[in-house]
Amino acid sequence: MSESTVVVFGDQPPVHLDRVAGRAKVLVCDENSLPQALPTADVLLVWDFTSDAVRGAWPGEGPRPAWVHTASAGVDRLLCPELVASDTVLTNARGVFEQPIAEYVAGLVVAMAKDFHGSWELQRQRRWQHRETMRLAGTRAVVVGAGPIGRAIGSTLAALGVVVELVGRTARQGVRGGDELPELLPSADWVVSAAPLTDANRGMFDRAVFDRMKPSARFINIGRGPLVVEKDLTAALVARRIAGAALDVFEHEPLASDDPLWDVPGLFVSPHMSGDTVGWRDHLADQFQDNYERWCAGEPLLNIVDKRLGYVPVD
């Protein structure tokens, strides 16, 4: 193969592509230079996966990258009709974030069950107040999203003794179908959103869902922000129709300092960090370079996204 051109969109902090640099021409671009760079690219690495710029700059007719890789699990910020219809192959970062996110969710579940927040607040007040907390083993969790992240969450919670129901788009072995979610909600102590964002499930966690949850239940979203109707979640927490919630992703990011979500009672807010552990950027760079070597060798790429579904199909 002749020297290829790899365009890297977003390089703050810098991505180290030592194995690619010696074999390809590597161009780094930002939102302003992306439209000019895209037609020259054989491969596009979307390092800044928080931006919508690729979707806006994607060329309709004419030259375009043969392969696009995003350093994220979600691909909703990239997909546009032109990209979906093209023969460009799209891959994602499946395999990097699953276990860190599962650990993060497990940490939230333990912290809520054991009322760590209450203990820290009482410590701040120098108050000795004995309390009883929830026994985690035997509680029930409904994890919505049966892909690799949802499965990792399920197995990690199961190791803590939680009874887990996985819910996917369609029913299959070990997975309940999405149409079964309403009947699972009333018995759930934990409802975890780990689904990809598609047109079909945007806003799926709305008042109807929160109304079906029991008052002692908690809700956690580490999937995508627009899966949740935030005003409906806020109303459920303010009215104490559910006991608590944690959001790591939001409809608009970063969350503005004056956003009312910061002050919602019973809501834990974190800045889209559930999958980001020490060294995660190096793992992302290595994953891309491994796949690049497969591409150069003419071998099938890993983590190919079904662009019409919006995720990597699970066997």
Residue type, 297: A
Cβ atoms of residues 302 and 308 within 8 Å = no
Could you confirm whether 253 is annotated as catalytic?
Answer: yes
Q: Is the dihedral of CA 267, 272, 275, 278 positive or negative?
A: negative
d(CA 241, CA 77): 33
279 phi and psi angles, rounded to 5 deg: 90, 5
d(CA 176, CA 198): 19
Chain position carrying tokens 């990239």? 78
Question: CB neighbours (10 Å) of residue 299?
Answer: 10
Angle (CA) 34-37-41 rounded to 5° is 125
- The catalytically annotated residue of 19, 140, 212, 272 is 272
Is residue 48 helix, strand or coil? Answer: coil
Burial of 84-120, coded b for 16+ CB within 10 Å and e otherwise, reads: eebebbbbbbbebbbbbbbbbbbebbeebbebeeeee
- The catalytically annotated residue of 69, 151, 218, 224 is 224
Query: In 46-97, which residue ranges form alpha helices assigned H by DSSP?
Result: 53-57, 81-85
How would you classify residue 115: left for phi > 0, otherwise alpha for psi between -120 and 50, otherwise beta? left
Instruction: Determine the angle formed by the axes of helices 148-159 and 98-113, rounding to 10 degrees.
Output: 40
- The catalytically annotated residue of 253, 293, 294, 299 is 253
Question: CB neighbours (10 Å) of residue 193?
Answer: 25
Known catalytic residues? 224, 253, 272
